[in-house]
Amino acid sequence: MATIDYSGTYMTSWLQPDGTTYVPGPVVVDVSTQSVTVNGIAINSPQFTANNVSWSASSGNPSSASLNFYQSSGVNGFLGTYAQGGDPLPTSNNLFGSASTATQSLSTWNGTYNVYPNPGTQSIGTMVVNGTSVTYLGSSISNYDYTGETPPQGSEIDQLAWFTTGGNPQNMILQFSKDSSGDLTFYGTTWTGGNQPPEINVTGTTSTIPTPPTIQVLLVMMMQSSTTTEVTTEVTTEVTTEVTTEVTTEVTTEVVTEVVVEVVEAIVAAVAHAVASPGSTIACDPEADALAADDLVKKVTILSETR
């Protein structure tokens, strides 16, 4: 029997096999201690052991996974390994989830968004958010999941997802943001069948400028300490989840995505490998942390000069 009740709807971040690219990951819903859905599809024969849930493509599932759940400050989360299709599970954690609840209502993102394929410069239609109503490319969206997470000293990240299993024309996982001009934006992945795309392939903006927003990851995390401290699995996991989901978009014609992503994704990979096993601790190395911080400062300097 599980030591915590980890039922919930989890927004996730999914690190890709290249170790440098990540996207909003699959929506994992654990509706009871014996039932799991991923992107709207019920998982066959999930295995529950204490605070772990696993499943295999060999049971007729579109994916395989092994997820370790934890609870921090009353919020459920998980980290684990995930693979689509018949691919083997990776050797290190590549999926991070949080079941925190959005404090901002969906109406925070009210507006008419011009939708663009990514890559692409021609709008393919609009998405309209009006209160609890969502219309995408002319179709009313039903049975959607709306979640959110607030990193420490950061702005809330809100995610909207819907799937064909809910009676919709397409699958969609998107995250909202606001650019420096005050226009609302979103970025995400959309598909109609098969596996979830491993890259951002759709964006949108309420801007009247007829150009798609450029996706930018704007996050720098520095770890410095003057004394050696112990970091529990729960704390490390919480940091990892927040790092991998802090993404914003900005309407601009300047393409600097590769440089910015390089900075943050190096952090994501480093943190992912630093996670301790459940119930154990790891020690921070002040000298190593300081060197890492200096390296990040150099990367940010390069980034600012590039912009």
Enumerate the domain spans of the chain: 8-98, 106-213, 230-306
CATH topology of domain 8-98: Lipocalin (2.40.128)
Cα–Cα distance for residue pair 170/1, rounded to 1 Å: 37
Residue 281, CA atoms < 13 Å, CB-side half-sphere: 7
Reduced to 3 states (helix: H, G, I; strand: E, B; else coil), residue 203 is strand
Instruction: From first to last of the 307 residues of the chain, give the pLDDT tens digit.
Output: 457 888 999 999 999 888 888 889 999 998 887 899 999 999 999 999 889 999 999 999 999 999 999 998 889 999 999 999 999 999 999 999 999 999 999 999 999 999 999 999 899 999 999 999 999 999 999 999 999 988 777 889 999 999 999 999 999 999 999 988 899 999 999 999 999 999 999 999 999 876 777 664 433 222 222 322 232 233 333 333 333 333 333 333 333 334 344 444 444 444 444 444 444 444 445 455 555 555 545 544 444 444 4
φ, ψ of residue 65 in degrees (nearest 5): -165, 160
State residue 33's pLDDT score. 78
Torsion angle, alpha carbons of 87, 25, 22, 120, to 10: 100
Maximum distance among all alpha carbons in the chain?
57
Among candidates 83, 93, 35, 36, which has minimal Cα distance to 56? 83
pTM of the model: 0.70
CA 19 to chain centre: 15
State residue 210's pLDDT score. 67
